[in-house]
Structure 1
């Protein structure tokens, strides 16, 4: 990673000790030639950082992960949740100065629901949107009409990846309403944005934002300590205390994020449930937390969504390492001499590669030979992504139902395990339509029991998010959703030393 541009940018900052720097420089984990500025298709961490800087959804999550207004100040739905009405905020402008209108929301929903290419986290809803009946009621009111009920549409539309764009949006010249506007972009290397002076919320405290992609943790940390970047996401946890002695700080956030081991349930050997359960019993979860995460995490129980009020993971029997039972299951499945490749990448974030290497040792106790392949980020998230037999990935904090829709259905955009369970699908479909919270809770907990018993995810921990920032930076706060204060760079102040 060449850092000459970052160094040059810092050199141009004001010399006054009280002056606000002209530029915030962020070191992002991963990235590659397939990086994108598309608001509806982010994959890598640099993608997410860019999307959050340029665009905004109708609703958003607070640092403690509750929904609050964003471009919409209010939302309501009819009795069966087939009609949702959004009331837009006054005074919002796009980067080119045009005001946000309900027609822009209409065009954005139509783009998200494009039957040929629906937005990743809208793909489950897209076929149910009645585009002909969904319309702008006036300049600041938009109503979406659904063919079937959807009781949590507000949770879905609060996703960072469902930003509103103007009617004539062109990804080659991206325009949004976010705190920064596009200046330049070189996939796999850097992105340069400048402050949106017409921003409706807290205007950015820096003139510009530079995001640099890093495929190597050592280079990323070195850049922070050398003053070449101001913030980095996914600081290796074992450095959390050490960097304080070298001129930087660690930011630790309790999140619902997870870096799972993913097993494809549609291919041997993981098509046999006994093999999947054996692999779950091979894992020493606490050891992975202690060593791969340096203690920065909480034990997981193969279910996601720990902040969801309907989360069942703490009520079901906690899985612990049980080598004897794992051997028994493997022998019964005819795989007592199992050999399997595990594909990982630095792009999955802190603890990923480290936990993969530890799994090799843990699996050997059960006679399982795991061979780790460490793929370059551009390869891991390239054409083979979602096709790996046994791999890892990363997920940010989500509530249970939106997460299940994103990763556990045949139609899900990120179904790494190729999980396709008819009863589970029916439960999720019913829960999505159910407006009564008590009945929806029963449906969701029944679905969780199926994933716990038959799923292809090994969710060994909910990792605390550990990031790094320079002593020049203030305004950084813990957030449950995503790294570095959920990439709310506009809230940061950067002063010269």
Structure 2
């Protein structure tokens, strides 16, 4: 699970320029769909696509990448057992086969998953991709020297907790069987109905053992996708990709691979990126960004220009910004105080502080408002658009604070909209109307993260955020509310320190379901049940607004990533 950061990792703490919330997808005033921009209705192969990003594509090794995120760049080179469907909006939140013939075949209790590889799969050098290559790719992701990837496999695979990777343990993982060159069987230590979603992550990328160069593999990873790495400068500051001639569209229905080359330039200032995309001159006419949002002022400028407005892609990603309570600290140990703050919050002012309604949507549920997460509308402490201070005062009086109280709100001093001083000030102003004096404690970003993610130092009230590793309620609710995931001597994300047996058992029960639609409904019901304990105050879901060059075509933005999918883009 993660709080999307820069670069995307666990504790992904991304600024609004990197994240997004839920809903429909649009591309400027009209949905570009398969038509895209540029006037020509049919995308064609050829040309060079430029990607202008603020954050480097660091650690370009499938073992070290947290997901297939990074603005979709890794998925151009690394194919996995399953992948996300490359479609606009909600349709893009579905998991589909990639290297495998299907999304996986579970046994009765979802503790064993079997996959069969497609025929005709090849690496960039023309050698066949086998089940042993996929197994080895998974195994090397356990190596300490290749740390950085998602932690699920260590938790889910039988006997994998202490495995140190193939460089130290030549026996390999017994939890993964390869009975033949096309079959993989994964043995799990508990039921996991969402294993097909996990199998989209880059740890499931095949790696030929004979070509593994350890920590240097990122310089020239062996491609299984439509593009191969030609150059990797300064650990992802510039990444140059060109066609992989061994890749076959016959085995890959998801990636279109229109451009001949893709040139990824990173480490750029966000304002420079938006200026270049706005001007759309020379090579920048065929450029996109996968990590740089338009700010409020920039968005106002583009909105007033019809030609620019037609080149703004809008995306939504499963992400929630919220107030977090530590109920072990007074006065937040009293549920009435937590409820009072929930009623007092003015979401309109918070949304304005986050950049306005175009860049943030008010939230009253912890789960993002997308079907795939199991979104169930509820508002247990209805504050309206501008807060309900009278109701808050009433609850404070019942809690013994008839004359109000003074509390501290911890936040980051970084420029991120999510945890910024502006958001904190909006909360401070709203609570003042209810008789609550809020002292603001602004910390440098690293100090802030260290403080809020330690059980020993977690403050009573702080700004927090959480993003999805895949579009489901599981990676949203379990890390934050499963009592068994409380980490006492490390990075802890269960901010409310909740350890409710009924919640824990329901999480286990839902994890057994392989029907993801049925599971989603139960995640939604669990969200509402937990919400009644007022351990968080959902504030808003951020929204991506991103420019693309005038010669860019075939814009696809799914609810899985919320960003323009470079595997679909064509250039003039």
Q: Which band: TM-score by shorter chain?
A: 0.7 to 0.9
- Structure 1: how far apart are the matches of 2:338 and 2:396? 9
TM alignment of 1:347-386, pairs within 5 A = 355-366=423-434, 367-371=436-440, 373=442, 375=444, 379=446, 386=453
Matched, 1:208 2:262: yes
Closer/same/farther in 2, CA of residues 151 and 303 from structure 1, 3 Å limit: same
Equivalent position SS for 1:460: strand
Equivalent in the alignment of 1:467: 546
Matched, 1:395 2:467: yes
Matched, 1:477 2:519: no
Question: Which of these residues, 277, 291, 294, is aligned with residue 235 of structure 1?
Answer: 294
Equivalent in the alignment of 2:99: 71
- Structure 2: how far apart are the matches of 1:20 and 1:310? 37
- Structure 2: how far apart are the matches of 1:101 and 1:411? 35
Question: Which of these residues, 130, 135, 154, is aligned with residue 106 of structure 1?
Answer: 135
Alpha-carbon shift at residue 343 of structure 1 (Å): 1.6
Tell me if the contact between 2:368 and 2:541 (Cα under 8 Å) persists in the aligned partners.
no
Task: State the Cα deviation string for residues 337-375 of structure 1 (Å, max 9, x = none).
Answer: 1122212644577x9675445334323333332537475
Equivalent position SS for 2:259: coil
Alpha-carbon shift at residue 146 of structure 1 (Å): 1.9
Tell me if the contact between 1:343 and 1:375 (Cα under 8 Å) persists in the aligned partners.
yes
Equivalent in the alignment of 2:156: 126
Tell me if the contact between 2:193 and 2:512 (Cα under 8 Å) persists in the aligned partners.
yes
Any unmatched runs of 5+ in structure 1? 1-16
User: Structure 1 residues 68-77 or 391-400, which shifts more?
Assistant: 391-400
Question: Which of these residues, 78, 91, 94, is aligned with residue 55 of structure 1?
Answer: 78
**Count of residues in Structure 1 that have an aligned counterpart in Structure 2:** 468
Matched, 1:288 2:317: no
Any unmatched runs of 5+ in structure 2? 1-39, 161-172
Closer/same/farther in 2, CA of residues 315 and 119 from structure 1, 3 Å limit: same
- Structure 2: how far apart are the matches of 1:31 and 1:280? 38
Equivalent in the alignment of 2:537: 458
Question: Which of these residues, 329, 333, 336, is aligned with residue 405 of structure 2?
Answer: 336
Equivalent in the alignment of 1:138: 180
Tell me if the contact between 2:274 and 2:294 (Cα under 8 Å) persists in the aligned partners.
yes
Tell me if the contact between 1:87 and 1:140 (Cα under 8 Å) persists in the aligned partners.
yes
Alpha-carbon shift at residue 46 of structure 1 (Å): 8.1
- Structure 2: how far apart are the matches of 1:299 and 1:211? 34
User: Structure 1 residues 130-139 or 267-276, which shifts more?
Assistant: 267-276
- Structure 1: how far apart are the matches of 2:343 and 2:567? 44
Task: State the Cα deviation string for residues 153-206 of structure 1 (Å, max 9, x = none).
Answer: 113323x4544141545343222534444422436x824131242334433514
- Structure 2: how far apart are the matches of 1:357 and 1:80? 49
Tell me if the contact between 1:338 and 1:369 (Cα under 8 Å) persists in the aligned partners.
yes
Matched, 1:303 2:369: no
- Structure 1: how far apart are the matches of 2:370 and 2:452? 28
Tell me if the contact between 1:180 and 1:204 (Cα under 8 Å) persists in the aligned partners.
no
Closer/same/farther in 2, CA of residues 342 and 133 from structure 1, 3 Å limit: closer
Alpha-carbon shift at residue 395 of structure 1 (Å): 1.7
Closer/same/farther in 2, CA of residues 271 and 465 from structure 1, 3 Å limit: farther
Higher relative contact order (CA 8 A, sep 6+): 2
Alpha-carbon shift at residue 70 of structure 1 (Å): 1.4
Q: When the two structures are superposed, what TM-score results if normalisation uses the length of structure 2?
A: 0.68
- Structure 1: how far apart are the matches of 2:517 and 2:393? 40
Q: When the two structures are superposed, what TM-score results if normalisation uses the length of structure 1?
A: 0.77
- Structure 2: how far apart are the matches of 1:240 and 1:118? 34
Closer/same/farther in 2, CA of residues 124 and 287 from structure 1, 3 Å limit: farther
Question: Which of these residues, 390, 396, 412, is aligned with residue 324 of structure 1?
Answer: 390
- Structure 2: how far apart are the matches of 1:347 and 1:449? 28
Question: Which of these residues, 396, 404, 410, is aligned with residue 477 of structure 2?
Answer: 404
